[in-house]
Amino acid sequence: MRILITPTSLSRTPDAEVLAPLREMADELIFNTLGRPLTSAELAEALPGIDGVIAGLDTYDAAALAGADRLRVISRYGVGVNNVDLDAAAGRGIHVTRTPGANASAVAELAIGLAFAVAREIPRLHAEVADGGWPRGSGIELGGRTFGVVGFGAIGRIVAERARGIGMNVLAYDPFVPATAIAETGATPASLDELFRAADVVSLHVPLLESTRHVADAARIAAMKPGAILLNTSRGGLIDEAAAREALDAGHLFGVGLDAYETEPPQDSPLLGHPRVVATPHSGAHTAEAVARMASGAIQNLVEELSGRASVHRV
Ligand code: NAD
């Protein structure tokens, strides 16, 4: 049995204890040595002869899966499955699993961190002080303001709780969570358009689907309060980046915090380089705790599936 392991954080530590169940099960573990997710073409070459994959953010489209002659499971190390063609996988009898909740606190804390970083211009002030300067900040306070959470799942709920903890009022939108369940947490249920109009900080925590592509489109960005902050720690494609750039240039938005981009790495994002954009490299899940939970969860799911049992975390 041959298992491919693509997440860069696991590939850097091939002797890690957490990989022991895989070493026991497989004849060979193959690691991604490129230091980045694999493209469809690279996967097409790597997948023949592979029985299971611990999968990072690689592109599992139909072309990549076409030659996967032995593959039985794609075990996502993380939650998002937008990079996996689920129909193509199902057509080949490949099960897809994920690790829900494993990185929720990590991503939620990054979202709150980005809110403060944007509101207080921490990266700019740091860079200037490190450079020998002594600049004056011109920030805004978050306490007492309104935080809008779009998507009240594992991450959105924790973001809402943290935002309340710093004295913010929270609005939340999720068409699949009953309003009563949102209200029970202390957040106020709102429609998507109400939330965009009323929040001082809008933070996106929905998966990237056709229905959520450009959920922050030009009209909703224009409807945001003057001086508001937009955060995306979810997936590129949720924000119309060109419209967000225009709103920044016009001084309508105070700033934008990003961990996810339309293309990654984001060479041609219109948002990068703007002084009020704080950008991190899709590192929401990169904490010691989340990496450990995602690794053990993804490995457990893979071992279950390859042992002929259905993982409860099948998509
Ligand atoms: P989750 O599945 O627990 O929650 C997603 C929520 O979105 C669900 O409650 C669902 O009802 C809601 N939703 C679905 N369609 C919606 C729509 N059209 N409008 C509003 N809400 C909708 O997932 P999660 O663990 O909270 O993760 C959320 C997203 O964060 C993931 O899909 C992923 O893209 C992203 N993510 C990013 C990182 C990172 O490193 N930055 C890490 C993990 C996850």
User: Does 150 lie in the same domain as 259?
Assistant: yes
The domain of 90 spans 2-102+287-306
Is the C-beta atom of 190 inside 6 A of ligand 1? no
- CATH code: domain of residue 16: 3.40.50.720
Cβ atoms 271, 230 nearer than 8 A: no
Q: How far is the CA of 214 from the centre of ligand 1 (A)?
A: 14
Are residues 12 and 135 both part of a single domain?
Answer: no
From the list 83, 85, 41, the residue with the least C-alpha distance to 64 is 41
Claim to verify: residue 81 and residue 129 sit in the same structural domain? no
Which of 3, 207, 192 has the alpha carbon at shortest distance from 100?
Answer: 207
User: What is the pLDDT at residue 15?
Assistant: 85
Say yes or no: 263 and 185 in one domain.
yes
What's the 208 CA to ligand 1 centre distance in angstroms? 8
219/147 same-domain check: yes
- Can you give the pTM of this predicted structure? 0.88
Tell me whether residue 96 is in a domain. yes
Same domain, 147 and 158: yes
Same domain for 196 and 224?
yes
- Rounded to the nearest angstrom, the distance between the alpha carbon of 80 and the centre of ligand 1 is 8
- Cβ proximity of 293 and 287 under 8 Å: no
Same-domain pairing of 173 and 114: yes
On whether both 94 and 111 belong to a single domain, the answer is: no
**Interior angle at CA 310, CA 9 and CA 31, nearest 5:** 25
Whether 140 and 210 map to the same domain: the answer is: yes
The answer for residues whose C-beta is within 8 angstroms of residue 97's C-beta and 6 or more apart is: 73, 74, 75, 76, 298, 301, 302, 305, 311, 313, 314, 315
- Is position 141 within any domain? yes
121/224 same-domain check:
yes
List the chain pLDDT tens, one digit each, 315 residues: 999 999 988 888 888 889 999 999 999 999 999 999 999 999 999 999 999 999 999 999 999 999 999 999 999 999 889 999 999 999 999 999 999 999 999 999 999 999 999 999 999 999 999 999 999 999 999 999 999 999 999 999 999 999 999 999 999 999 999 999 999 999 999 999 999 999 999 999 999 999 999 999 999 999 999 999 999 999 999 999 999 999 999 999 999 999 999 888 998 899 999 999 999 999 999 999 999 999 999 999 999 999 999 999 999
Residues 114, 280, 103, 254: is their CA dihedral positive or negative?
A: positive
The pLDDT value given to residue 14 = 83
Sign of CA dihedral 262, 244, 220, 196: positive
In a domain, 313, yes or no: no
Is residue 241 among the annotated active site residues? Answer: no
Q: Which residue's alpha carbon is at the smallest distance from atom 30 of ligand 1?
A: 234
Q: Catalytic site residue 264?
A: yes
Distance CA 80, CA 221 (A): 25
